[in-house]
Amino acid sequence: MNAPRKRTVILISGRGSNMAALIDAAADPAFPTEIVGVISDQPNALGLGIAASRGVATKVIARADHASKDAHDVAIDAALATFGAEIVALAGYMRLLTTDFVEKWQGRMINIHPALLPSFKGLDTHSRALDAGIRVHGCTVHFVTPAMDDGPIIAQAAVPVLIDDDEPTLSARVLKAEHRLYPLALKLFAEGKVRMDGNRTAFSGFAETTSNDTVAAPSPAREEVDLEQLARITP
């Protein structure tokens, strides 16, 4: 007999592309979670329409409607209780949550961040990565703790930073990796194969697939350009 699917609520603030990836994954009855609700702090978040179009209940809890940050998080917590949430997944939720809220949900709340933590915490990760001149970038799924982008890491995906990248091209490449990584991490978490153990993530009950693949940029597989030959054939 299959275990009951974990009731999962997603928090968003914007377009909801990672939210959509999770909803799509959970559309498979074999996936170990069901997305029972989407909460946004922004009434005009594009993700609300996407969730509703896919049959997921939505709720707006705007910060402007509450006297304080604490009151706002209390309202979110009440909505999570109404949804019967067992897991909270942050997917582009752009407000820092209060310590009381995080501590109540700690070990049951996860987030995706567009960088390879612990590097580039916070905002503007892609432009900062380009400014730093790094050659490999990526994304991270982690448990949420009171400190920003500081919780134990569940999973990461790396992508190359290409020589001619700008912020839009790098962002698009990382976003594709996010859409693959977040459903994988949520699946492992819901199946009980990863859990928060103090300040680390404990893994159990599954075997990793080994691979010799290496992400490298500039790619060593690329042929070097013979500039003299190129000059000879260029009109």
- Condensed to tens digits (0 to 9), the pLDDT of residues 116-143 reads 999 999 999 999 999 999 999 999 999 9
* Residues paired with residue 59 on neighbouring β-strands, in sequence order: 39
Check if 113 is active-site.
yes
Task: Judge whether residue 198 has pLDDT over 80.
Answer: yes
Residue 8 confidence (pLDDT): 98
Residue 212 confidence (pLDDT): 60
**32 burial via Cβ count (<10 Å: 0-12, 13-18, 19+):** buried
Taking residues 182-197, report their average pLDDT: 97
d(CA 93, CA 41): 8
Task: Judge whether residue 90 has pLDDT over 80.
Answer: yes
Farthest CA pair distance, the chain: 71
Identify the three-state secondary structure at position 21. Answer: helix
Residue 205 confidence (pLDDT): 84
Helices (H), 10-140: 17-26, 46-53, 69-83, 99-105, 125-132
Considering the candidates 72, 113, 126, 137, report the single residue annotated as catalytic: 113
- Condensed to tens digits (0 to 9), the pLDDT of residues 36-80 reads 999 999 999 999 999 999 999 999 999 999 999 999 999 999 999
Confidence band for 232, pLDDT divided at 50, 70 and 90: very low
Task: Judge whether residue 1 has pLDDT over 90.
Answer: no
Taking residues 193-212, report their average pLDDT: 84
Residue 225 confidence (pLDDT): 46
d(CA 126, CA 84): 36
d(CA 196, CA 76): 22
Q: How far is CA 71 from CA 6, 78, 82, in A?
A: 27, 11, 17
Task: Judge whether residue 213 has pLDDT over 70.
Answer: no
What is the residue-averaged pLDDT of the chain? 92
Residue 219 confidence (pLDDT): 65
- Condensed to tens digits (0 to 9), the pLDDT of residues 151-173 reads 999 999 999 999 999 999 999 99
